[in-house]
């Protein structure tokens, strides 16, 4: 991620740009190629972990510090659920199919909406009211959450940060082991 002192806003924004870069590489890879499938796997892994870190660390901050924070979290979760459903469907689709291409395009659109909403509407609000030390500590917590998070999408993940953390602590190690054995995201 960024550096050890970056706050949650910088951390998540840098992650947004990495995911978008991966999706750009997916789109530019030859259709139906193994390269495209590998890049798409990497994007799914990174985005799945990113969404877990947001649910565990960003959403509680929004609820605590931002006016109408609960409304913002509800809105973000609705968008995230659509992205998670697309990630789940992408995992199931054959990489050389038309459905796979449609899902990749849908994912790119969903990620773009996610990034624009957060970087232009949510992050400025949080930056304006969140204590600097709290945001910096949340950046470190987000890095830890993402490192421990599952790598496979699970649409319908719990909205509660505490339940999300518990779910991640169960599925994260299992997914990393399974990915290591199968070579997922590293072929």
* Residue 187 within any structural domain of the chain: no
User: In whole angstroms, what is the distance from residue 15 CA to residue 23 CA?
Assistant: 12
* Residue 1 within any structural domain of the chain: no
> Would you state the structure tokens that stand for residue 135, as one six-digit string?
């945001």
Q: What is the CA radius of gyration of the chain?
A: 16
Q: How far is CA 119 from CA 17, 44, 123, in A?
A: 11, 21, 5
* Residue 105 within any structural domain of the chain: yes
Q: What is the pLDDT of residues 161-175, one digit of tens each?
A: 655 565 655 555 556
| Res 1: pLDDT | 40
Regarding predicted confidence, which is higher, 185 or 24? 24
Q: What is the pLDDT of residues 8-22, one digit of tens each?
A: 999 999 999 999 999
* Residue 127 within any structural domain of the chain: yes
User: In whole angstroms, what is the distance from residue 153 CA to residue 82 CA?
Assistant: 11
User: In whole angstroms, what is the distance from residue 85 CA to residue 48 CA?
Assistant: 11
| Res 119: pLDDT | 97
DSSP for 6-26, written as a single string: --HHHHHHHHHHHHHHHHHHH
* Residue 177 within any structural domain of the chain: yes
Q: What is the pLDDT of residues 26-83, one digit of tens each?
A: 999 998 888 998 999 899 889 988 998 999 899 999 999 999 999 999 999 999 999 9
| Nearest CA among 14, 6, 2 for reference residue 118 | 14
* Residue 3 within any structural domain of the chain: no
* Residue 2 within any structural domain of the chain: no
Q: Provide the residue range defining the domain that includes 150.
A: 8-182
| Nearest CA among 52, 70, 51 for reference residue 61 | 70
Q: Looking at residue 16, which CATH number applies to its domain? A: 1.20.120
Question: In total, how many domains does the chain have?
Answer: 1
| Res 47: pLDDT | 93
What does pTM read for this prediction?
0.81
Average pLDDT score, the chain: 85
Is residue 150 within 8 A of residue 172, CB to CB? The reply is yes
């Amino acid at each position: 991620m960024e550096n050890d002192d970056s706050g949650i806003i910088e951390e998540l924004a840098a992650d947004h740009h990495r995911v978008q870069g991966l999706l750009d590489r997916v789109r530019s890879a030859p259709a139906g190629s193994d390269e495209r499938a590998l890049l798409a796997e990497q994007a799914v892994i990174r985005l799945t972990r990113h969404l877990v870190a947001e649910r565990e660390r960003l959403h509680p901050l929004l609820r605590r510090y931002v006016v109408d924070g609960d409304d913002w979290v509800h809105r973000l979760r609705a968008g995230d659920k659509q992205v998670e459903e697309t990630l789940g469907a992408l995992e199931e689709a054959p990489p050389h199919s038309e459905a796979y291409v449609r899902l990749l395009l849908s994912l790119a659109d969903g990620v773009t909406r996610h990034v624009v909403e957060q970087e232009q509407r949510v992050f400025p609000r949080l930056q304006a009211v969140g204590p600097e030390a709290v945001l910096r500590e949340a950046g470190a917590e987000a890095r830890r959450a993402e490192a421990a998070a599952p790598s496979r999408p699970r649409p319908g993940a719990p909205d509660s940060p505490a339940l999300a953390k518990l779910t991640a602590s169960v599925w994260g190690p299992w997914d990393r082991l399974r990915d290591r054995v199968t070579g997922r995201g590293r072929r």
